[in-house]
Amino acid sequence: MTAKPKKKLALSTQIFIALILAIGVGVALTGNPDIAKNYIKPFGTIFLNLIKWIVCPLVFFSIMAGVISMKDIKKVGIIGGTTVLFYLCTTAFAVAIGLLFANLLKGIFPVLSTANLSYDASASSVNFIDTLVGIFPSNFVKPFVDANMLQIIVMSLIIGFALIMISPRVNKEFHFVNTCNDMCMKAMEMILRFSPIGVFCLLCPVVAENGPAVLGSLAMVLLVAYLCYFVHAIVVYSLAVKAMGGLSPAKFFKGMLPAMMMAFSSASSVGTLPLNKECCEKLGADKEVTSFVLPLGATINMDGTAIYQGVCAVFIASCFGITLSFSQMLTIVLTATLASIGTAGVPGAGMVMLAMVLQSVGLPVEGIALVAGIDRIFDMGRTVVNITGDAACALVVSKLQQNKAARRPLAAGGANNSGK
C-alpha cells in the first residue's frame, strides 16, 4: 500500500494554532515573564527585523513596477486619488464611530485620578505642516535608513513617472525594475513561511508580561474600543467590499485571516504588509493595485488608530471632568483623520499621535499616561482594523479598475459599430 502524501496545514491554520498556543503559553508564564522575554521574544524580534529589512526595497520596487506597468501617469493619478479619498472617508467615519460609542457608553468608564500624571508632551509635539514637509525626501538613501515609508513612496512614484516619460528608450531599465521586484517578492515569501513561529514569539511575551491583571480598571475602555473596532470592520468594510468590490464579506474576512492574525501579534501595519499583499491578491486584487494601495495604506490609513483616539479622548476628558462639546468632537474627527496620515505603521505610533488630537481640543496631554500602560493591547486591535481597511480599499480599487477595463473594449467596439 502506498503511503498517502502528507497534507500540509494551510498557513492561516498554522498561524491560528500559533496564536492560540502563544496565548496559552503566555498565560502559563505570567508568573515568570522573564523566560518569555529572554528566550522567546528574541525570535519574534528576528522575524520582525527580517520583515522590516525587506519591506523598504519591496515597497520601493513594487510601487515602481506597478507605476511602469500602468504606462500612464493619469491612471496612477486616478488610482491614487480614489485610494486617498477612500482612506480619508473611512478614517473620518472610524473616529465618528469611536466618539459615538464612547459617548454612549462613557457611564461604564472608570474615573481615574488625574493627580500626579506626567507625560512628556515635547516628545510627541507633531504638527500638520511638519508632517507635510516630512513627506518629501532630501536625500536618496536616508528614507531607507530611517524606513520612512512615505518618503520611499514619493521616491518610487517620481522615479516610476520618470521611467514612463523616457519609456521608448528604457526597456532594459523596465526589466531591471521588474527583476528587482520579483527578487524582493521571493525573499519576502521565504520570510513569510516562518510567520507562525513569528506570531508565536511576538505574542507570547506580550501575554506573559501583561497578564490578565493589567487590564484592571481599564477593561471597560478596552471593551468599548474593541467593540468599535468590530463594528467598524463588520459594517464599513463588509459594505465596501460587497457594494464596490463585488466580494462577499464572509469570503473577504476569511481570506484576510492570516494577515489579521499577523497584525494582532505584531501590532505593525508595515510588518504585516507582505502578508496583506498576499491575502489581497488571493482574494482577486490586481498586483499593480496592491503594490501601490497597500504600502500607501500601511502608511497613511489608520482607521483602528482613529477609533482608539476618539475613545481615549472621551475617556481622558471624563477623567478630567470635562464634557466635550459638539464642535470639539468635530475638531477631533478632523485632527484624528489628519493624524492618521502621519502615524507610522509601527507599534505604539498611534499613542504618540494621540497627543496631537488631545492638544487640538485643549485636553491635557498628560492624560495619555492613563492609557499608556496597556497601549499594546489597544494597539493589537487597532492594527488589525488598520490593515483590514487597507485591504478593503485595495479590493475596491481593483474592482473599479477591472470594471473600467472591461467597459473599454465594449466602448471601443461600440464606437466602431456606430462608425460603420
Which residues in this chain contact ligand ASP in the complex, by CB under 6 A? 267-269, 302, 305, 343, 345-350, 379, 382-383, 386
Q: For ligand ASP, which residue has the nearest CB?
A: 350
Cell numbers representing residue 205 in the block: 511575551
User: Smallest gap, in angstroms, from Cβ of residue 153 to ligand ASP?
Assistant: 16
Which helix (DSSP H) or strand (DSSP E) does residue 347 occupy? none
- Burial of 122: CB neighbours in 10 Å, binned 0-12, 13-18, 19+: exposed
User: Smallest gap, in angstroms, from Cβ of residue 233 to ligand ASP?
Assistant: 14
Q: What is the DSSP letter of 397?
A: H
User: Smallest gap, in angstroms, from Cβ of residue 294 to ligand ASP?
Assistant: 12
- Nearer to ligand ASP (CB atom), residue 76 or residue 312: 312
- Nearer to ligand ASP (CB atom), residue 249 or residue 347: 347
- Nearer to ligand ASP (CB atom), residue 181 or residue 383: 383
- Nearer to ligand ASP (CB atom), residue 52 or residue 242: 52
User: ∠ CA(275), CA(280), CA(283), 5° rounding?
Assistant: 130
Grid cell 505603521 in the structure block, residue: 345
Helices (H), 140-284: 142-145, 149-165, 171-192, 195-210, 219-232, 238-243, 249-266, 269-282
Q: How far apart are CA 312 and CA 62, in angstroms?
A: 36
Q: How far apart are CA 396 and CA 289, in angstroms?
A: 10
Cell numbers representing residue 324 in the block: 466635550
Cell numbers representing residue 338 in the block: 489628519
- Nearer to ligand ASP (CB atom), residue 246 or residue 348: 348
User: Smallest gap, in angstroms, from Cβ of residue 25 to ligand ASP?
Assistant: 23
Nearest to 276 by CA among 367, 228, 345, 220: 345
Helix (H, G, I), strand (E, B) or coil at 317: helix
User: Smallest gap, in angstroms, from Cβ of residue 97 to ligand ASP?
Assistant: 16
- Nearer to ligand ASP (CB atom), residue 148 or residue 401: 148
User: Smallest gap, in angstroms, from Cβ of residue 272 to ligand ASP?
Assistant: 8
Cell numbers representing residue 77 in the block: 493619478
User: Smallest gap, in angstroms, from Cβ of residue 210 to ligand ASP?
Assistant: 16
User: Smallest gap, in angstroms, from Cβ of residue 264 to ligand ASP?
Assistant: 11
Contacts of 399 (CB under 8 A, 6+ apart): 244, 245, 246, 247
- Nearer to ligand ASP (CB atom), residue 185 or residue 267: 267
User: Smallest gap, in angstroms, from Cβ of residue 143 to ligand ASP?
Assistant: 18
- Nearer to ligand ASP (CB atom), residue 52 or residue 287: 52
User: Smallest gap, in angstroms, from Cβ of residue 309 to ligand ASP?
Assistant: 9
Helix (H, G, I), strand (E, B) or coil at 152: helix
- Nearer to ligand ASP (CB atom), residue 123 or residue 213: 123
Nearest to 126 by CA among 292, 376, 344: 344
- Nearer to ligand ASP (CB atom), residue 12 or residue 265: 265
User: ∠ CA(271), CA(275), CA(277), 5° rounding?
Assistant: 110
* DSSP letter for each residue of 154-174: HHHHHHHHHHHHTGGG-HHHH
Torsion angle in degrees (nearest 10) through CA of 118, 123, 128, 132: -160
- Nearer to ligand ASP (CB atom), residue 67 or residue 201: 201
Q: How far apart are CA 337 and CA 328, in angstroms?
A: 14
Contact 282, 253 (CB under 8 A): no
User: Smallest gap, in angstroms, from Cβ of residue 344 to ligand ASP?
Assistant: 7
